[in-house]
Chains A and B, each alone.
Chain A
């Protein structure tokens, strides 16, 4: 079966700066795949290359649902069902929470949008309370929830989350992972970049470890959680943080 997302020998970066050096990864439909790696390894660049958000592909191929993404505009990629929630969230700071959410549904047919907005408010009650507030006035956790909710309104088949838990309180982090589990149950594939290796490996199906722009390790989440290198570098502190 062809993978939903398929990267082959991807070289990418910013202008003349090369960051990724021949990365190949797959994400199957409905799968939760994690990318771990040290700061500066190129994790965000990987997601940005896929969504065509600032980073540019110089060699190799990115295919989503069998289509070569190099030939598609960033808008068409969203229409295809590939949504990216980047670091920094990129909300519409001066627009209301409600407008932010509704614009998340910009590419979908108007029919069904009202229902989707109502469902979103039921799922994120704190957004419902703040629906007419401007997005910049939300707390960090609320902004992250809004960013994810805005992407979900577009009905993604693959959602790419870049460090959604960074800087957030433990209960909120747990809430985000719960949401990710819900998505998986509903059949949405997730490509998750995270610092919190413990929670990530506990929830993911498979994971890749990216170091210096190349895949250093790959395998099922359970295998990687048992790997000595992963334990030493990524799980040492994280397991303690999580109270284990």
Chain B
């Protein structure tokens, strides 16, 4: 029983890592632009598909495909900001948020056109077609699960370092905190926002590549990934990076715990109801601040 529980928690943390990266991406874009990007999950899929192409068509190792997909995500993020968010935002943040919903469908059908509508496999990072599995106290631990959680931790450390310890990271936070104030000290606010969006999309592509070997990549999964990441962000607190991370992990674990004992299909309604409940009862999230909701 305990082993089973641990098994599910481990699986939950693995999927939840993907949601955590989505939630963080939503947080970063919201901070910088006041737009909620509902297409975040679609960029997860896109990153995974690009990695799939790098592996299957270019015969690269998936460990090489990972930084490539992440860098491609960064570049695509710059385009996304320039072509969708910035122009739409001239008519207001709500317009831009709706434009991100439009982006979901452009990407969804775009992916199907290029890669077909069936999900594609990505090789496991240390096993190729079959993952390496260890047994510890009756719990099966797959190497990919370690990869996912470890790479999530690495991404978080890199983000923390960038935003807390580098001048440019602080300038981006300043531009998000007060764009007018940022202009007064000579920060190029438009560029700071573009870089923020690019970082968020790079994170999504990174997430798609590390989770891909477990979930397959492609198909219509992006919408659910977006919403679950969003639920994680709301549960943890949209304005709190730590809250977003823990919230995403929590949604992953909850989903696994609900899916196993009950028939398939109960996890989604519960997770989505959680979204409503949180918005009604504690809109700032468990770790967010009141200030974030008011302004």
Contacts and interface: CB of A to CB of B under 8 A. Distances in A.
B178 A92 contact: yes
Interface in B146-200: 167, 170-171, 173-174, 177-178, 180-188
B167 A78 contact: no
A61 B18 CA distance: 54
Given A90-B178, A95-B177, A103-B174, A84 B184 contact: yes
Contacts of A84: 184
Contacts of B167: 102-103, 106, 110
B181 A92 contact: yes
B174 A92 contact: yes
A89 B178 CA distance: 11
A53 B174 contact: no
Interface in A84-142: 84-86, 89-95, 99, 102-104, 106-107, 110
Contacts of A99: 170, 173-174
Determine the main DSSP class of B at the interface with A.
Answer: helix
A150 interface: yes
A50 interface: no
A90 B170 contact: no
Interface string A45-58: 00000010110000
Interface string B195-223: 00000000000000000000000000000
Contact of B186 (A54, A90, A107): A107
Contacts of A86: 180, 184
A75 interface: yes
Given A102-B170, A103-B170, A103-B171, A94 B177 contact: yes
Given A95-B170, A99-B170, A104 B177 contact: no
A79 interface: yes
Contacts of A78: 184-186
Given A103-B171, A106-B171, A75 B187 contact: yes
A154 interface: yes
B188 to A, nearest CB: 5
A83 B184 CA distance: 7
Nearest to A94: B177
A103 B187 contact: yes
Nearest to A153: B185
Contacts of A60: none
A82 to B, nearest CB: 10
Most buried by B among A78, A83, A106, A154: A106
A73 B184 CA distance: 11
Contacts of B180: 53-54, 86, 90
A94 B291 CA distance: 10
Contacts of B174: 92, 95, 99, 103
Nearest to B295: A93
Interface string B68-85: 000000000000000000
Nearest to A75: B186
Contacts of B186: 74-75, 78-79, 106-107, 154
B183 A75 contact: yes
Given A73-B188, A78-B186, A154-B185, 4 more contacts: A53-B184, A75-B183, A75-B186, A102-B170
Interface of B: 167, 170-171, 173-174, 177-178, 180-188
26 contacts: A51-B184, A53-B180, A53-B184, A54-B180, A75-B183, A78-B185, A78-B186, A89-B181, A90-B180, A91-B178, A91-B181, A92-B177, A94-B173, A94-B177, A95-B173, A95-B174, A95-B177, A102-B170, A103-B171, A103-B174, A103-B185, A106-B187, A107-B185, A151-B185, A154-B185, A154-B186
